Amino acid sequence: MIEVIPSLLEQIGDRARRAEPVDVRIGAYWTYAAVALDGHTQGGLSSTLGGGIHHHAGAPGPEAGRLLDQDAGSLASLAKHPSQLWASVGLATINALLDVDESLCTEVNAADVIAERGRGACVAVVGHFPFIPRLRQIAGELSVLELRPREGDLPAEAAADVLPQADVVAITGTSLLNQTFDGLVQLCRPDAFVVVLGATTPLSPVLFEAGVDAIAGTRVVDPGCVALAVSQGATFRQIRGKRLLTMFRP
């Protein structure tokens, strides 16, 4: 089983060496990074995790306000950082550097994919998404795992008991930020249909090598529009200039 973050960094290595970081925005909900590459500006998104907690705790990391002094490869490598705040910058940079093969993608909502596969099946979702109420009505059995459980959710620690039983598993892309992704995928049955979703999710075949069947992420198509929205505290629905794409295992 591969380790996803090191494999992603290897995939973008050549592009990172040719790219120049031009923008980083750490918003209340989303982090945005942009690079100049081959005459174009490319942007990427990631959930913002950690926030000011790490600053007050004195967690090590690059000096805030000087991130653009680093090269693109160094910014992307922050995805391995133990601080989730800096990992958010790293994942956003990775997403900006990816060369996404859109011929492998469709503009289908991940919720629809999960609903279609999960009808009457045993479904496990890591992360409490807005489509959970809809899924409860059609799944044969539904378990929702959350770090901060709401009513009806299970604690994240229950993953070892829940995931091996599921026919369909949906995993939030933010699991790449808190370094739980690799372990979660390894808990899934080989015959389970596994989806990774959310704007943090890299649209990269590397995730197929990890055992994922569908990758639902976001492509930035208007870098300026996305940067402005993120810096003004926009939620995901309020960010314009993006496309939701799903990549299926060939």
The CATH code of the domain that includes 134 is 3.40.50.11590
**Whether this model's pTM surpasses 0.75:** yes
pLDDT at 250: 85
Q: State the CB neighbour count (10 A cutoff) for residue 122.
A: 17
pLDDT at 9: 98
pLDDT at 243: 95
pLDDT at 64: 79
Co-location of 91 and 121 in the same domain = no
Would 175 be classed as within a structural domain? yes
pLDDT at 129: 93
pLDDT at 54: 42
Co-location of 9 and 27 in the same domain = yes
Would 181 be classed as within a structural domain? yes
pLDDT at 58: 44
Rounded Cα gap, residues 221 and 108, in angstroms: 17
Rounded Cα gap, residues 66 and 151, in angstroms: 42
CATH number at residue 43: 3.30.390.100
> How many domains is the chain built from?
2
Assign 133 to helix, strand or coil.
helix
Under a CB-based contact definition with an 8 Å cutoff, are residues 18 and 38 in contact? Answer: yes
pLDDT at 56: 39
Would 77 be classed as within a structural domain? yes
Domain that holds residue 62: 4-102+222-226
Co-location of 153 and 84 in the same domain = no
Co-location of 111 and 25 in the same domain = no
pLDDT at 50: 79
Q: Which residues of the chain have pLDDT under 50?
A: 52-58, 60
pLDDT at 57: 40
Co-location of 47 and 137 in the same domain = no
Q: What is the 3-state secondary structure (H, E, C) of 57-114?
A: CCCCCCCCCCHHHCCHHHHHHHHHCCCHHHHHHHHHHHHHHCCCCHHHEECCCHHHHH
Co-location of 243 and 153 in the same domain = yes
pLDDT at 226: 98
Joined tokens for residue 173: 């892309």
